[in-house]
Every structure is written in structure tokens, then in C-alpha cells.
Structure 1
Amino acid sequence: MQPVVHLAVGYLCYAGYTRATRGTSPAELPALVAIFGAALPDLLDQSLAAAGVVEVTRTVGHSLLFAIPLVLAVWVVTRARGRELLGVAFAIGYLSHVATDVPWHVLSGDYHELGFLFWPITPMPEYSGVKTLGAVAGVEVTTLWLEAVILVGGVALWWHDGRPGLEPIRRVIGRIRS
């Protein structure tokens, strides 16, 4: 999945959670934390690959062996500080990222590319990229088509919800400019 689509998925999942549990759209800071959590696996792994530490872009950040302890640690710290909702938002964002990297490999039959789930115990080959899912009326349908729909849906909901998470970023930028 394209990195920007993970941000939309993280927001969609967190927005669904807040609607189901609180009957409201997401608040500013938890929405931002969910989006950050959704971005983090790629930020970690692509940085490590760019630095030459690992050979592929899905290793540490995408591994459940790292993700689960990290999510639990964030939850414990946020709970101890009375900010448990931020831990929940982070968990939803981070785990939505890992979970949504799985279906494309399953649908395309590239099961060997699921090695990232338990890396370094299981090997992770280089990601083969966009997957072909079939054809509709002679037009090849790829994962990018579905990702585009998810991205548009996520941005539309975020916009409808008042763009939560944007205001804290604006405040930080305002302080930097001052």
C-alpha cells in the first residue's frame, strides 16, 4: 500500500472507533496521533533502508515482533499519564498500517512477501510493488485503483470531520515562524 493511503486508513479506522465508542468525530490530538501511528512503520523502515541498515523497506517497523511491544509500551505510558485515548489512537493507526499491508499479498498469491510480519525470524524479499487484481471490461485493475478509492474516502471523511489534527500542526508552524 502506498504510504499516503496508510494515513487515510489510519484516520478511517480511528474515526470509526470514535464514532462507535463516543458517537463523535475524532478530536484534534488523538486524530493526529492515529495518523502518525499509521505513518510510523514506513518512516522507520524506509529510513533504515535508505541508510543501508536493511536491504528492503519492510522489516522492523512492519514486524509484529516490534509492533506489538511498541504499541503496548505506548499504551502503558499514555495510560500512566492519564492520556489512554492517545495510546488507543496510536495502536489503531500503527496496527491498521501493518494489517492493510497484508491483503494485497494474499489476493495476489504473493504469500512469501508476508515475511515482514515476523521479520527477522522470517525472511522478507524485496517488495514487488503494485499488484494486479484482475480485469474489468478489458481494463487491468490493480491495487492502486482500490487504494485511490480508500484515499479519497479517507480525505473526504477527514474533511467532513473538520480536518482534525491540522490545528496542532498549524500552532507548531506558527510558533516556529514567530
Structure 2
Amino acid sequence: MWPWDHLAIGYLVVSLWRRGRSRRPPGEAEAIAAVVGSQLPDLIDKPLGWRTSLLPSGHSLAHSLTVAAPTAVVVYLLARRYGRADVGAAFSLAYLVHLPADVVYPMVLGDPPNLAFLFWPFVDIPPSQTDAFAGRVLELVVQFLAFLRTPQGLTFLLVELSLLGVALLLWRRDGWPGVASVVRAVDPRSV
């Protein structure tokens, strides 16, 4: 699944959870936690599995339930201890929703669901090539663009754009949480 898909799904889940819990949108810190949580598995596994031999695959350590579940619990408990339980919950929800999204994504592309990575290291997973990180990314982009030229790909693109559009509209309705923090981080004089 592409990073923007994980981001959209992670934000949708966090925003709907936040609204269901307190009838208010996510705040700045919750939105940023959702961004980090939604991307963390790929930020760990892709470089270490595609560029080095430290991990067998781009879906292994941080995508495994043996790491993801305890990580989500520890982050939530630490955040709660410091009075930021909602931030910990936002991170944990976005992180955990990343995993089923990666299970379902191959099915959208016409392949069987991929479940093995959820149980790594107890289940062997096919190793990734580690000689060319950029080459692997380019290969995925080329495959994806070829897929988009098929009738199935066009349907996928419509669903994809709908998902991204709904997430963007909800983020706008929520008041663009997270943007002000990023702007302050990039340009402290903008405060």
C-alpha cells in the first residue's frame, strides 16, 4: 500500500474514533501521532528489508503482530502516564490499522491476501532483494502504473481517489489539525 493510502486510512480511523469518543476532531498532537503511527511500519521495515539484510522483507519486524501490538500498548500506556492518552491512542490506532490495510491491499490488486508477515518471525516470509532500494521503489511504481491501465486498475483508481478525497475532506472539516505544528517546526518565525 502506498504511504498516502496508509495516511488517509490512519487519519480517517483516528478522526472517526475521536469524534465518536468526544464529538470533537483530533487536535494537533493527535493528528501528528496519526501520521507517525500510519507510516512507522514502512519507515522501519522498508529501508531495513529492502536496503540491508537486517530484516528479511519490507513487511517483517514492524509489520508483525509480535512487535506492533506491544508497541501500540506501550506507546498508549506511556502517553496515558503523561496525561496524553488520546495522543497515544491516535498513534496506536493509526499504527495498528496499517497492518490489515497491507493484508487487504493485495486483494484489491487481484492477488490473495498476504497474512504471513503478521506472524513473522514465527512464519517464514520471502526475502526481499537488498541491492537496490531505489530500484525496488521504481519497480513498484512501474508495476502500479501498468496496473492502472487495466479495467481493474481504473476501478482501483476511482476507489483510491475516493478514499483520499474523503480523508482530505474530513481533514479540512476537522480544521487541518497538524498543519500549524508543521509550519511552526519548519519556520519558527511564523508563530
Say whether 1:140 aligns with 2:152: yes
**1:74-114 C-alpha deviation (Å, 9 max, x unpaired):** 01111111111111111111011112112234564524x32
User: How many residues end up aligned between the 2 structures?
Assistant: 171
Aligned sequence identity (%): 33
**1:148-170 C-alpha deviation (Å, 9 max, x unpaired):** 32122112211222210111111
Say whether 1:2 aligns with 2:2: yes
Q: Which has the higher strand share?
A: 1
Q: Distance in 2 between the 1:4 and 1:61 partners?
A: 18
RMSD: 2.6
Deviation (angstroms), 1:147: 2.6
Q: Distance in 2 between the 1:166 and 1:80 partners?
A: 26
**1:114-141 C-alpha deviation (Å, 9 max, x unpaired):** 21111111122369976xxxxxxx9224
Write out aligned runs for 1:45-56 (5 A).
45-52=45-52, 53-56=54-57
Match for residue 124 of structure 2? Answer: 123
**Equivalent residue of 1:164, what SS?**
coil
Aligned partners of 1:104 and 1:143 also within 8 Å: no
Match for residue 134 of structure 1? Answer: none
State the AA in 2 paired with 1:37: G
TM-score, normalising length: structure 2 = 0.79
Aligned partners of 1:2 and 1:147 also within 8 Å: no
TM-score, normalising length: structure 1 = 0.84
**1:49-84 C-alpha deviation (Å, 9 max, x unpaired):** 243122421111111110001011101111111111
Match for residue 135 of structure 1? Answer: none
